[in-house]
Amino acid sequence: MRLVCISDTHGRHAELTIPEGDLLLHAGDFSKRGKPSEIEDFNAWLKTLPHPHKIVIAGNHDFLFEQAPEQARKLLNAALYLEDSGVEIDGLKIWGSPVSPRFFDWAFNRSRGEEIRRHWQQIPHATDLVLVHGPPAGILDKTWLGQSVGCKDLNQALAQIRPKAVVFGHIHESYGVLKHAETLYINASSLDRHYRPQHPPVVLEWSNHNLHPIF
């Protein structure tokens, strides 16, 4: 199974070149402010893509999914939306959550420590791929100022779960792929820090119960 990973498209999804694959993963921030019209536009675009499976989580810009979740979910019917929930596709067990450490007053922000830890404690230990919006601490999480802004509580949870891969975005300028211990980390931010669609999707191959990057 081929996985195509994108994130942080912020309404510029139509400008991307999306490779063929079996599963499209979007790690949040598909809108600028989470308005209904933005979700409708994103949903219409998803319908044009041939991937048999599509999984989406919200990000800190996707306000409607936190403020009016029923309305938002009805507008996003071209993909499976995960929010502290999971799914299994072709033997690949995926868990998704939109939360990220608090930064001013954005959507799905949680305070570091006990508040955000409660979300990570929900991730099943048998999970193969964790789909989150923000990075773990110290891994593809540096801003252009050199600050590491990832979540230490997420690190602790991942050390216990030891998933095959973690897909996220949020920090546009730290786009890339990194193998650490047994886990493949993918910052799939599609836009650069100037919100230009400069980063190509990251493609993974799921075979023999392992995930490998293709390009």
**Over 80: is that where the pLDDT of 104 sits?**
no
Mean pLDDT score across all residues of the chain: 96
What total of structural domains would you count in the chain?
1
Question: How far apart (Å, rounded) are the C-alpha atoms in residues 115 and 117?
Answer: 6
Q: What is the CATH number of the domain that holds 127?
A: 3.60.21.10
Residue 20, pLDDT score: 96
6-62 pLDDT, tens per residue? 999 999 999 999 999 999 999 999 999 999 999 999 999 999 999 999 999 999 999
Cα angle value 196/30/183 (rounded, 5°): 90
118-176 pLDDT, tens per residue? 999 999 999 999 999 999 999 999 999 988 899 999 999 999 999 999 999 999 999 99
Strands (E), the chain: 2-6, 23-26, 53-56, 80-81, 85-89, 92-97, 100-101, 109-110, 129-132, 165-168, 176-180, 183-187, 202-207, 210-213
Residue 129, pLDDT score: 98
Residue 65, pLDDT score: 97
Share of the chain above pLDDT 70, in %: 100
Q: What's the domain range around 84?
A: 2-213
**Over 90: is that where the pLDDT of 103 sits?**
no
**Over 80: is that where the pLDDT of 215 sits?**
no
**Over 80: is that where the pLDDT of 202 sits?**
yes
Contact at 8 Å (CB) between 162 and 124?
no
Which band of pLDDT confidence, cut at 50, 70 and 90, is reported for residue 67?
very high
Residue 210, pLDDT score: 87
Which band of pLDDT confidence, cut at 50, 70 and 90, is reported for residue 181?
confident
Strands (E), 37-182: 53-56, 80-81, 85-89, 92-97, 100-101, 109-110, 129-132, 165-168, 176-180
Residue 7, pLDDT score: 98
